[in-house]
Amino acid sequence: MASTSISPSFASLLPLSSPCFPTVSTRRPPMPHCRPLLVGRKPHPVSASSPKNNPDNTTTNGSWVSPDWLTSLVRSLALGRGDDSGIPVANAKLEDVSDLLGGALFLPLFKLMLKYGPVYRLAAGPRDFVVVSDPAIAKHVLRNYGKYAKGLVSEVSEFLFGSGFAVAEGPLWMVRRRAVAPSLHKKYLSIMVDKVFCRCAQRLVSKLQTYAKNGEAVNMEENFSQLTLDVIGMSLFNYNFDSLTSDSPVIDAVYTALKEAEARSTDILPYWKISFLCKIIPRQVKAERAVSVIRNTVEELITKCKEIVEAEGEQIEGEEYVNETDPSILRFLLASREEVTSVQLRDDLLSMLVAGHETTGSVLTWTLYLLSKDFSSLKRARQEVDNVLQGRLPRYEDVKELKYLMRCIHESLRLYPHPPVLIRRAQVDDVLPGDYKVNAGQDIMISVYNIHRSPQVWEKAEEFCPERFNLEGPIPNETNTDFRFIPFSGGPRKCVGDQFALLEAIVALAIFLQHMEFELVADQKISMTTGATIHTTNGLYMTLSPRKKQHDHGPSLSVSG
């Protein structure tokens, strides 16, 4: 579950970390196949007077997102007020338009980083962003929550999340964080592995084996999206969307709403703030319908659960309370007897539904893609699964032994972070590391994608190399990598659902590897776009076959219960 982008994801929606895995020393020996990480080495921001930070800006190839006139206006305003920020102004070229508008937003940001350095100013629609690709600056912004708020994220996604803690600020955010965080305790996660993660993954494999027998190419991105919706439905509400076997309108509604939130962030005129226009403009009508589908679904589930809790007079007993019949987060929150409006509860749960489904589905998609292109890593991961599980389903305690598979997931999160971009707004004038100055109200775009792929931050930055994370070292996170690895954000609003997401992903992959052989369909072009996370543009198609001597490697596929 990853942190907040222009459209938030589960990692940022859950603001407090859950310590399911220990953090130990980061000292580790060099890897056999990769050069060691640059531990302690951080990129040095390039001076604003450096030639690299002041390329010739005479190009005439602009875009309406960042056209020459808008870039020139930003530069003129900066100079007019005696700008001493030290931040260069970047030009977006015409070929970047499709990516800045509804495409892979993070890709032009990476190109501009290579040209302008780790910090630059970018005109985008009606506003300009300071784009950050430096771990030290990301650390400063994310840890100083009082100085930096969600800002733009809250504005463009309020139509979807309302006052949910995904976008809430100040005292409301603090109150809702304290209410939700305790529900994700160790006992709950352990029960989820057995009752939800394993059972849903078995249903997926059973479905895929039918395709395998028919020799059909399978869109794994679509199937992983269906899997994670079923998982989050059971985990949050004890409700089976059954999207693996029937069409679910919720999946399309979630994607539509998240794309709308992203589009609003670069609209030149925020016409969507005018209510009557939202009822006649097709894009807004579609978005409003999508939100209605999601909200109506959540409200109905809350109402049903409330009736049960009230009828049974249920109350929480102890810190790690779980209702054995219904271990869902909704049941926990209602049994806590906290005074909260139905609308607030709906908004909080809607945040978790949208992001918990989006993020893990993308993690599974890109991890499988990377493994399909690296036979040695796939072989090692599968062998580990066989050795650790010995033909049975994974248990909560097994996860710490699936070290290499977990590192494959972490390396996938490095190369394809979800979300690829985090947005914050300065609440006060501030000076960033590197002596860059920002004014109150300035929107800051932390490019997680850039940090994770920067050659100034990582050795062999573009290569898939799970061994870069020492198997005997700590689980990599923002703290022990000094913010060079931030797939779940960092600071006070770091994802509280990070362990949930990692457990869900590793259980699903382990069961998949036990039962299935897979191969990437040849000659398909894998291109990227963004919603809350990094998606493919046309799906990820694989040819599948049942694994030989399956009874020696995996459990029987009982999917009852």
Q: Per residue in 465-495, pLDDT tens?
A: 999 999 999 999 999 999 999 999 999 999 8
Q: Which domain holds residue 359?
A: 10-518+527-553
Is 0.85 topped by the overall pTM? Answer: no
In a domain, 471, yes or no: yes
Residue 219: which H helix or E strand, with range? strand 217-219
In a domain, 558, yes or no: no
Q: Per residue in 100-130, pLDDT tens?
A: 555 678 898 999 999 999 999 988 766 789 9
In a domain, 561, yes or no: no
* pLDDT bucket at 94, cuts 50 / 70 / 90: low
* Residues annotated within a binding site: 495
Q: Per residue in 324-376, pLDDT tens?
A: 889 999 999 998 888 788 899 999 998 888 878 889 999 999 999 999 999 99
pLDDT computed for residue 196 by the predictor: 97
- Return the percentage of the chain with pLDDT > 90, whole number: 53
pLDDT computed for residue 174 by the predictor: 87
* pLDDT bucket at 438, cuts 50 / 70 / 90: very high
Q: Per residue in 142-195, pLDDT tens?
A: 999 989 998 888 888 888 888 888 888 889 888 888 888 889 999 999 999 999
Q: Are 233 and 553 in contact (CB under 8 A)?
A: no
Q: How many domains does the chain have?
A: 1
Torsion of CA 312, 315, 321, 327, to 10 degrees: 40
pLDDT computed for residue 319 by the predictor: 76
Please state the rounded mean pLDDT for residues 249-261: 84
Q: Per residue in 226-236, pLDDT tens?
A: 999 999 999 99
Q: Are 227 and 512 in contact (CB under 8 A)?
A: no
Please state the rounded mean pLDDT for residues 415-427: 95
* Residues annotated within a binding site for heme: 495
Please state the rounded mean pLDDT for residues 27-52: 36
For 379-427, the DSSP string reads HHHHHHHHHHHTTS---GGGGGG-HHHHHHHHHHHHHS-SSSEEEEEES
In a domain, 3, yes or no: no
* pLDDT bucket at 553, cuts 50 / 70 / 90: low
**How many whole angstroms separate alpha carbon 88 and alpha carbon 119?**
8
DSSP state of 443: E
Please state the rounded mean pLDDT for residues 396-401: 96
Higher pLDDT, 259 or 511: 511
Q: How do beta strands 421-426 and 148-149 pair?
A: antiparallel
Both tokens assigned to 451? 């940090």
Does pLDDT of 31 surpass 60? no
Higher pLDDT, 49 or 537: 537
Q: Taking the CA atoms of 122, 479, 141 and 351 in sequence, report the sign of the dihedral they define.
A: positive
Torsion of CA 192, 194, 200, 203, to 10 degrees: -170
Does pLDDT of 390 surpass 60? yes
Q: Which of 148-157, 274-283, 486-495, 551-560 has the highest mean pLDDT?
A: 486-495
Of 245, 247, 258, nearest in space to 286 by CA: 258
In a domain, 1, yes or no: no
Average pLDDT value for the chain: 83
In a domain, 219, yes or no: yes
**How many whole angstroms separate alpha carbon 376 and alpha carbon 369?**
14
User: Using N-to-C axis directions, what is the helix angle for 375-389 and 498-515, rounded to 10°?
Assistant: 90
In a domain, 559, yes or no: no
In a domain, 128, yes or no: yes
Whether the ω angle into residue 420 lies within 30 degrees of 0, i.e. cis, is no
Please state the rounded mean pLDDT for residues 431-449: 96
pLDDT computed for residue 288 by the predictor: 92
For residue 161, give the CATH number of its domain: 1.10.630.10
**Under 8 Å CB-to-CB from 507, ≥6 apart: which residues?**
193, 197, 198, 201, 394, 399
